[in-house]
Chain A
Amino acid sequence: MIYREAGQFKTTYASDQAIFPIVQDRVFVALALACAFAVPLAATEYWLQAILIPFLIYALAALGLNILTGYAGQLSLGTGGFMAVGAYSAFKLTTAFPEASIILVFLASGVMAAAVGLIFGIPSLRIKGFYLAVATLASQFFLIWLFNKVAWFVNYAPSGTITAPDRRVLGVIVTGPNSTAGARYLMALGFVVVFALIAKNLVRGRVGRSWMAIRDRDIAAEIIGVRPLRTKLLAFGISSFYCGVAGTELVFLFLGSAETLAFDINQSFLVLFMIVIGGLGSILGSFLGAAFIVLTPIFLTNVPHIVGLKMSVALLKQIELMIFGALIIFFLIVEPHGLARLWQITKEKLRLWPFPH
């Protein structure tokens, strides 16, 4: 009843091809964005630091992996490694050029990650499916080993960690120990909004269609003229760019300082969970999956508190692991296409409501 598009006529091609053609959608998204940007005025430090900032960072990483695995069909377990490339290159760049704008540093670190992604994406031309996943595992382990072994990456620091220095954007400190959570949140939000828009337009256009062609029937795609080399490498490059920027944000906007442990194989699996639960091949799915994965452990840790149960920390951790695993299986059984599909079904039902059909 309220979600109908009756009376909304498009008179130009541009308006017909809009991302949100229905006015109700546009209003909703505009409101959501306004709320998102206004959050630092109302949210507590805990919410910003522990929930919202990691959600935005992981949403960006999930977007990157979704482009590679959900749209282009190349299963990759090397996300952690590419995030590490972004973080370490940003650290080197900003310590070498302290006056350079931090936004440029973030983007440049993404480009470095993209270059590495291109190199490690070359095997995808010969290898497919699970074998490719194992090949990307090789990149993951190798990159982590590289950052551990070569002390140049941490500027020869004895602790072996990289730390984010204080950097300003428009006079406000956005990274480093003196930044406020609100400033960091807005920085992360800005990046995510811009990159999500770019990703949405990429997947709606020719590039995205060629990715999906490769994903669905790669030999047939090659026959009709989609160049597999170019398409797959483009997917690897762009995906690694996103993951690299996400990795940079992870250290600069969330952790403050990190070592390679923050980018190990668990990180790769975490981001893979996000896109599978959120929905493969869906931009919204990346966000929903990231929200789910970020919120579930926090929820599980706090529920016994709220309910009043007293449990040892170790037992709590074990139950958390069990519930996490069980939830993943449950989700895969209930909706293998992820939360995005559930949202799509909801919207379809909303269009008919209150009528049954």
Chain B
Amino acid sequence: MSQLYAFTLGPFADMVSSPVFLVEVIVGGIAAGLMYSLVALGFVLIFKASGVFNFAQGVMVLFAALTLVGLIERGLPVVLALVLTMGVMVALAFAIERIMLRPLVNQEYIILFMATIGLNFFLEGFGEMVWGANVKKLDVGIPDTSFMVAGVQVNKLEMTAAVTAAVLVTVLAVFFQKTRIGRALRAVADDHEAALSIGIPLKTIWVVVWAVAGLVAIAAGIMWGAKSGVQFSLSLIALKALPVLILGGFTSVPGAIVGGLLIGVGEKVGEVYWGPLVGGAIENWFAYVLALSFLLFRPQGLFGEKIIERV
């Protein structure tokens, strides 16, 4: 009986007994969640515009961070390094479209998914070969200090990440809804062949969307790299971003943010209050179980497009 109490009501009692700590945990969760959202944004972009689930997004984040750090280490000023990195990611988008996407037009989605896994391995090896495998420190001038807001500690870096995410989401939402290219992107996501048949240039669209995803990857790479150094475990964030995508919906830009927040908060709260009861380290699968339970009630995620099946 006491076990049952410890499991279900105990954590809530803990939460209520020290509300300031709870707020801090939640703020920490929001910050972590926003970092996930930045990565999830890249996924959503590519999925929204081409229906491809880009498993290599995590590695693209890593590659962007590696390139930036590598250029800064070679002595280039930060702004120039940033511009060059953007150029590299656009060139990468061109290469991916030419070599990988064009021959696989209108193949089943699982084939494209596997191709992105292949791309994942390729970029991992390539990045390691060109820039080396050491952990690198990324310094873009944002201090990793905290300040107090209404009695709760807030980290400057995490605030910057939050602001960046907010700006990115607004820009991307406007891009998709209001511009011609945004409409074309959505058309391509619906049906490649139909889009081709009404004259939308698939090749250009794909290069655009992968380039934009690459730029988002740079932003995510900077935030993650500044927080925990540029190292190869960064490519594993892709796996963490998946529950975010499920919660928010694969095709929704605001969904990526909301999903990220929910997953971040849920994970932190779960780890802090329920973790000790089951031995800790539940962060690995808690997010997935959370997303899974959501899926059972709302298969398309919070903001995703309703799945309409035709027989």
Contact = CB atoms under 8 A, between A and B. Distances in A.
Nearest to A333: B103
A134 B53 CA distance: 12
Given A325-B120, A333-B103, A138 B292 contact: yes
A318 B289 contact: no
B271 to A, nearest CB: 12
A144 B284 CA distance: 10
Give the interface centre of B99, B110, B111, B243 by most chain A CB atoms within 10 Å: B110
A326 B118 contact: yes
Nearest to B132: A314
Contact of A149 (B107, B111, B281, B311): B281
B309 interface: yes
Contacts of A324: 118, 121-122, 125
Contacts of A123: 292, 295-296
Interface in A305-340: 314-315, 317-322, 324-329, 332-333, 336
A325 B291 contact: no
A75 B299 contact: no
B137 to A, nearest CB: 21
A336 B111 contact: yes
B209 interface: no
B242 interface: yes
Interface residues of A, number: 45
A135 B119 CA distance: 23
A276 interface: yes
A149 B128 CA distance: 33
A127 interface: yes
Contacts of B242: 134, 137
B194 interface: no
Interface in B73-124: 99-100, 103-104, 107-111, 113-115, 117-124
B104 A333 contact: yes
B250 interface: yes
Contacts of A137: 239, 242, 288
Given A127-B299, A137-B242, A138-B291, A329 B115 contact: yes
Q: Which of A128, A138, A314, A333 has most B Cβ within 10 Å? A: A138
Given A127-B295, A130-B250, A138-B285, A149 B117 contact: no
B126 interface: yes
B129 A332 contact: no
Interface string B262-303: 000000000000000011011011001101100110010000
Contacts of A217: 311
B231 to A, nearest CB: 15
Contacts of B117: 269, 273, 325, 328
Given A137-B239, A142-B285, A325 B125 contact: yes
A145 B285 contact: yes
Given A217-B311, A336-B107, A145 B284 contact: yes
Contacts of B104: 332-333, 336
A145 B281 contact: yes
Contact of A223 (B121, B128, B281, B311): B311
Contacts of B211: none
Nearest to B111: A336
A141 interface: yes
A264 to B, nearest CB: 11
A142 B290 CA distance: 12
Nearest to A141: B285
Given A145-B285, A322-B126, A131 B114 contact: no
A219 interface: yes
A212 B71 CA distance: 52
Nearest to A220: B311
B133 interface: yes
Among B243, B284, B307, max chain A CB count under 10 A is at B284
Interface string A97-137: 00000000000000000000000000100111111001101
Contacts of B61: none
23 contacts: A123-B295, A123-B296, A126-B296, A127-B299, A128-B307, A131-B295, A138-B288, A145-B282, A149-B278, A220-B311, A276-B110, A314-B128, A319-B125, A321-B122, A324-B122, A324-B125, A325-B117, A325-B121, A326-B122, A328-B114, A329-B119, A332-B104, A336-B104
The 7 closest A-B pairs by CB, nearest first: A321-B125, A325-B122, A328-B118, A325-B121, A138-B288, A322-B125, A141-B285
Interface of A: 75, 123, 126-131, 134-135, 137-138, 141-142, 144-145, 148-149, 217, 219-220, 223, 265, 269, 272-273, 276, 280, 314-315, 317-322, 324-329, 332-333, 336
Interface of B: 53, 99-100, 103-104, 107-111, 113-115, 117-126, 128-129, 133, 239, 242-243, 245-246, 250, 278-279, 281-282, 284-285, 288-289, 291-292, 295-296, 299, 307, 309, 311
Given A131-B246, A142-B288, 16 more contacts: A126-B295, A126-B299, A134-B243, A137-B288, A138-B292, A141-B284, A141-B288, A145-B284, A149-B279, A272-B114, A276-B110, A318-B125, A322-B121, A325-B121, A328-B121, A336-B111
